[in-house]
Structure 1
Amino acid sequence: MSFCVAMLIAAEFMPVSLLTPLAADLGASEGMAGQAIAISGFFAVLASLLITRVCRGMDRRHVLLGLTGLMLLSLACMALAHNFGVLMLARALLGVVVGGFWSLATATVSRLVPAAAVPSALGALYTGNAVATTLAAPLGSYLGGLVGWRGVFWLMVPLVALNLWWQWRSLPPMPARQTAANLRLRSLWARSHVRVAMPAVMLTFAGAFTSFTYFRPFLESQTHVSLPQLSLLLFVLGVAGFAGTHLASRLLTSHLYRLLGGLPLLLALATLALLLTGSVPVWAALCLLIWGGLNAAIPVSWSAWLAHSLPDAQEAGGGLLVAAIQLAILLGGALGGALLDHLSIHATFLGGMVLLLLGASLVGRGQRLMPV
């Protein structure tokens, strides 16, 4: 599952490192390309809300295998895309995979390991996230210069095929568990801590991806990096994800709610520091190191909140959480692209900061996120 996460994250966010050549090849602005990439978020929202109903009686092993096969098809469509229509279709398929997989991920992990090991298991799962964040962006930008952005997606196809085979061999049968709490999203929204958590999740992730989606244009226009330097800086951003995931996993048991409020605040400060000092490559690298560590800690922290706060409705809660995250990514990417096209890259980063600060203020010390 961790390997699947790595492939999924790479497929979803590798276009960020290929944004400039992709936009040039398809005859679009970078802002338009960023918004086309973000369309996967719309379909991820739909999939995350519908997955438990559509697959109500299905073995979760079969569902995960089907989603991985759909990711394989999406990558082939992206590599073959000759216009925005095909690209958006491929991203829509990928969005279904993203929404479906992440909706089931926490509940699946909870079924594979004892309850006491869930935080550590989530950390292991998100290690795949850190691996993809570390390698996908720099490899994407480097290999894109060698084989083109289409070639990068073709290179991922055999890796996803290997992962599909690995899942088929290793995942045990996991018959569906049907409970009223798992099938009714309306019942979740009736819980006060859920009504606070979902807007906080959206503000946090929208703020992060308003900036993250447009790191390459920022580094090219403000830091004036070459392609090898860009790959190195994106690698620094990813390496920090390992430290962030590991540290968050160790702090989740005793400091979960402080992390949920503190991480977006610190990420906003890191974004400001990058904006102010990013013209100097050394300072840009340091800011990206801090930014990457903080950003990687956010999703594992919210997954731990789900396991801790909604133990009786992890699949439905996972669907609601993923819907909020993916809608935030969609809106964040769209907002960042609009600010970039109509104002400047500085406006894009400032917009992301504002959203992060609003998310931090909504969480506060975390009391409102605790189950009653």
Structure 2
Amino acid sequence: MPLPLYLLALAVFAMGTSEFMLAGLLPGLAADLGVSVGAAGALTAAFAVGMAAGAPLMAALARGRSGRGSLLGFVLAFAAAHAVGAVTTSFPVLLATRVVAALADAGFLAVALTTAAAMAPADRKGRALAVLLSGTTIATVAGVPGGAVLGALFGWRSAFWAVALLCLPAAVGIVKGLPHVATSTGKDTPAPALRAELAELRRPGLLRAMLLAALVNAATFGGFTFLAPVVTGPAGLGELWVPVALALFGAGSFAGVTVAGRLADRRPGPLLAVSGPLLLLGWPALAVSAGEPGALFPLVFLLGALSFAAGGTLITRVLYEAAGAPTMAGAFATAALNAGATTGPLLAATALGAEAGGPGPFYVAGLLVAAALSAAVVRPLRARGR
């Protein structure tokens, strides 16, 4: 894979770290700014909404511009938002910086996905996507725990500064490593009209790929979000075991993305045929085994691997199905991913009830996988019937 892909992955690592690190920073942040922890949680919601809504908007604004220029602008805006957030003493200002950061993140990922697909050979889009998404998986393994450590030692502002500084080598790499990306399509020919690209959303194949990707990612983030309360609740372990569980899930997700990169282009069907049913069994198995650490931790690693293998493959399928929308394909993929990442935790939270550390969210994750498998199986059967 070309070196610029790894430079883009570095920026994705910084952005992924920012997206997830607030979970370990909220208590200190809330105390410093004089707000409740519940109010501080609005920072996470603001980022999620900005990500889900921002991808199509930012990708549309970047149309016709240099891919290198768009990526550089987004990463610098992301860094600036964190620098402002690190020095502000106003919670509303911090909230505004999270929205700006989310829009920059969404725009960067949408353009980066399109750029990565354009730089890779036609039959290796999955490999390119795996390199790019490895930045997110490594963020869950190293970036998020690292941000928590910085927050504990030097205060929450140090974590914001660290994210801003991580963006700088990525920005230099974009300038030096992407000198020949002439347009956001990665080609010298003009892109289709925006209306023509948006019309691709009427295609059943693209909509189906986006739906499947959203459902699988909803299951992934719905289960992952409520992993920590299960470790300290039903499993009966101390708080120091929470980073271990999160790191295992992250390590599994890295393994899954790597496998998807090898197989998503040539053999997506067999990969999904194996990972889908295993996820359908795995999430309920994790719920049943929540009180047994000896089973909990291996299952956490396995589910991280299966979730990202299936999710990464489906995001790759979105890029293939959106071939007629060269500048918006990455936005479609990003919107599907973040729709799942936003709705999954909300749906999973409904299963918490009075038992905050219960395994209910894992059953919801299983139901979401079941919905994805149903959508994958029923439609082809109907098509054959017609």
**Short-chain TM bin:** 0.7 to 0.9
CA distance in structure 2 between the partners assigned to 1:10 and 1:277 by the alignment: 29
- Describe how 1:1-372 pairs up with structure 2 within 5 A: 1-18=8-25, 26-29=35-38, 36-80=43-87, 85-176=92-183, 177=185, 178-180=190-192, 183-260=195-272, 262-337=274-349, 339-340=351-352, 344=356, 345-364=358-377, 367=380
Contact kept? 1:134, 1:241, Cα under 8 Å: no
Task: State the Cα distance separating 1:77 from its structure 2 match.
Answer: 4.3
Structure 1 residues 217-259: Cα deviation after superposition (integer angstroms, max 9, x where no partner) = 2322233433432222222221222221121222223331344
1:71 partner letter: F
CA distance change for structure 1 residues 217 and 45 in 2, over 3 Å: closer, same or farther?
same
CA distance in structure 2 between the partners assigned to 1:305 and 1:235 by the alignment: 28
More relative contact order, 1 or 2 (CA 8 Å, 6+ apart):
1
CA distance in structure 1 between the partners assigned to 2:368 and 2:236 by the alignment: 27
CA distance change for structure 1 residues 93 and 319 in 2, over 3 Å: closer, same or farther?
same
Task: State the Cα distance separating 1:58 from its structure 2 match.
Answer: 1.1
CA distance in structure 2 between the partners assigned to 1:318 and 1:164 by the alignment: 20
The structure with the largest helix share of the pair is 1
Deviates more, 1:72-81 or 1:248-257: 72-81
CA distance in structure 1 between the partners assigned to 2:95 and 2:253 by the alignment: 28
- SS at 2:359's partner residue? helix
CA distance in structure 1 between the partners assigned to 2:283 and 2:86 by the alignment: 32
CA distance in structure 2 between the partners assigned to 1:33 and 1:351 by the alignment: 26
- SS at 1:38's partner residue? helix
Structure 1 residues 131-157: Cα deviation after superposition (integer angstroms, max 9, x where no partner) = 222212333344443334433222222
Task: State the Cα distance separating 1:62 from its structure 2 match.
Answer: 0.5
Task: State the Cα distance separating 1:52 from its structure 2 match.
Answer: 3.4
CA distance change for structure 1 residues 4 and 363 in 2, over 3 Å: closer, same or farther?
same
CA distance in structure 2 between the partners assigned to 1:212 and 1:160 by the alignment: 26
CA distance change for structure 1 residues 18 and 262 in 2, over 3 Å: closer, same or farther?
farther
**Percent same amino acid among aligned pairs?**
25
CA distance in structure 2 between the partners assigned to 1:189 and 1:329 by the alignment: 20
- SS at 1:114's partner residue? coil
1:282 partner letter: G
Task: State the Cα distance separating 1:12 from its structure 2 match.
Answer: 1.2
Task: State the Cα distance separating 1:67 from its structure 2 match.
Answer: 0.7
Q: Which runs of 5+ in 1 are unaligned?
A: none
Contact kept? 2:27, 2:37, Cα under 8 Å: no
CA distance in structure 1 between the partners assigned to 2:31 and 2:379 by the alignment: 45
CA distance change for structure 1 residues 68 and 167 in 2, over 3 Å: closer, same or farther?
same
Q: CA RMSD of the aligned region, Å?
A: 3.0
Contact kept? 1:48, 1:99, Cα under 8 Å: yes
Task: State the Cα distance separating 1:122 from its structure 2 match.
Answer: 2.2
Q: Bigger radius of gyration, 1 or 2?
A: 2
Structure 1 residues 169-216: Cα deviation after superposition (integer angstroms, max 9, x where no partner) = 212242335433655454112211123223222222222222212222
CA distance in structure 2 between the partners assigned to 1:346 and 1:232 by the alignment: 18
CA distance in structure 2 between the partners assigned to 1:74 and 1:217 by the alignment: 31
Task: State the Cα distance separating 1:22 from its structure 2 match.
Answer: 5.5
* TM-score, reference length from structure 2: 0.83
CA distance in structure 2 between the partners assigned to 1:339 and 1:154 by the alignment: 36
Contact kept? 2:276, 2:373, Cα under 8 Å: yes
Structure 1 residues 57-76: Cα deviation after superposition (integer angstroms, max 9, x where no partner) = 21111100011012112323
CA distance in structure 2 between the partners assigned to 1:139 and 1:58 by the alignment: 35
CA distance change for structure 1 residues 353 and 287 in 2, over 3 Å: closer, same or farther?
same
Deviates more, 1:157-166 or 1:181-190: 181-190
CA distance in structure 2 between the partners assigned to 1:261 and 1:19 by the alignment: 40
Task: State the Cα distance separating 1:350 from its structure 2 match.
Answer: 2.5
CA distance change for structure 1 residues 19 and 208 in 2, over 3 Å: closer, same or farther?
farther
Task: State the Cα distance separating 1:56 from its structure 2 match.
Answer: 2.3
Contact kept? 2:124, 2:265, Cα under 8 Å: no
CA distance change for structure 1 residues 77 and 213 in 2, over 3 Å: closer, same or farther?
farther
Contact kept? 2:319, 2:329, Cα under 8 Å: no
Contact kept? 2:289, 2:295, Cα under 8 Å: yes
- SS at 2:332's partner residue? helix
2:37 partner letter: A
Contact kept? 1:181, 1:316, Cα under 8 Å: no
Q: Which runs of 5+ in 2 are unaligned?
A: 1-7
